[in-house]
Amino acid sequence: MQKNKGRSRFIVACVAPATILAFIFLVIPTINVFRMSLFRWGGYSPNQEFVGLSNFVTLFKDQNFYQSCRNTILLIVVVTAVTITFALLFAAILTREKIRGQNFFRIIFYIPNILSVVVISAIFSAIYDSKQGLLNSLLSLFRGDAEPIYWLGDQKLVIYSLAIAMVWQAIGYYMVMYMASMSAVSESLYESANLEGASKLTQFFQITLPLIWTNIRTTLTFFIISNINMSFLFVKAMTGGGPDGATEVFLSYMYKQAYTNSTYGYGMAIGVVVFSFSFALAAVVNRVTKREPLEM
């Protein structure tokens, strides 16, 4: 009995600090976001006017909010699909194929992940520069003296320009994670498949993907949710939401309303919607990607 009590006290002592910190810095601020979404407040004045659901009524009539919603969903779909696809492809090549300098390629691919978003944004802003940027300079070899392309100034192109930068930043991290999972797949399975005459493409879809599906599912959920935050950082560093709101996303629009336009309560209402959207999206992804786990 004394031994069990001592063990319980030890567990409580280990868990308590993390629980307290999570409550102070996560639970309380989250509750406060929900509370402040019911008030009209500029963020600096002492006057807080309770308005109930008025902020939400205004929000769902706000066309700028819907534009930020469309941009966020577009980035989630495009960036996630391209990143995960290329990360799996590169991981399979570097794991299954005999390529000289594999460790070198792993390091090269991983470097963008250790760079800050500000540095990556500066690199791509220079590449996209309409006058002296690398991309337009290369295209001028084929286009001659045609009008330069405004990669960060064209409302139709700018969101995809951001997506490319986000993909470049994320591929290496997920590639390394998938390589670790693929390395754990038994070589005997591939040898048996070779004897049966299965192509490498068939082996990838019938052996590799099913056996690392748990890892794919976890990273997919994590990446989709983190993409909401990363899109804000890239928008803030590269375009500021422009031109004319063409790259405004959930969090950048929330930030502007709460801290630039001094409509803090309205910004917190957007925060509540983003919070709910993230949880709902995570639940949907987990449900859609649910499979019976396979073991070797």
Give 266: exposed, middle or buried? Use CB within 10 Å, 0-12, 13-18, 19+.
Answer: buried
User: Which tokens sit at 83?
Assistant: 């990143």
- Other residues' Cβ atoms within 10 Å of the Cβ of residue 12: 10
Give 217: exposed, middle or buried? Use CB within 10 Å, 0-12, 13-18, 19+.
Answer: middle
Structure letter (DSSP) for residue 262: S
* Rounded-to-integer distance, Cα 90 and Cα 168, Å: 13
Give pLDDT, residue 3.
62
Structure letter (DSSP) for residue 206: I
Q: Which domains does the chain have, with CATH numbers?
A: 62-288 (1.10.3720.10)
Predicted confidence (pLDDT) per residue in 231-257, tens digit: 999 999 999 888 888 899 999 999 998
pLDDT band at 272 (very low <50, low <70, confident <90, very high): very high
* Rounded-to-integer distance, Cα 120 and Cα 115, Å: 7
Q: What is the mean pLDDT of the chain?
A: 87
Give pLDDT, residue 289.
84
Predicted confidence (pLDDT) per residue in 184-220, tens digit: 888 888 888 888 888 888 888 888 888 889 889 889 8
User: Which tokens sit at 241?
Assistant: 């939401």
- 70-76's contacts with Cβ under 8 Å and 24+ in sequence apart are 71/159, 71/231, 71/246, 71/247, 71/248, 71/249, 72/228, 72/231, 72/249, 72/250, 74/159, 74/163, 75/159, 75/162, 75/163, 75/166, 75/227, 75/231, 75/249, 76/224, 76/227, 76/228, 76/231, 76/281
- Identify the residue with better confidence: 102 or 200: 200
Regarding pTM above 0.85, the answer is: yes
pLDDT at residue 295 above 60?
Answer: no
Give pLDDT, residue 245.
86
* Rounded-to-integer distance, Cα 35 and Cα 44, Å: 17
pLDDT at residue 111 above 70?
Answer: yes
Give pLDDT, residue 249.
93
Q: Which residues pair with 50 in a beta bridge?
A: 39
Predicted confidence (pLDDT) per residue in 55-89, tens digit: 999 999 999 999 999 999 999 999 999 999 999 99
Helix (H) or strand (E) holding 50: strand 49-50
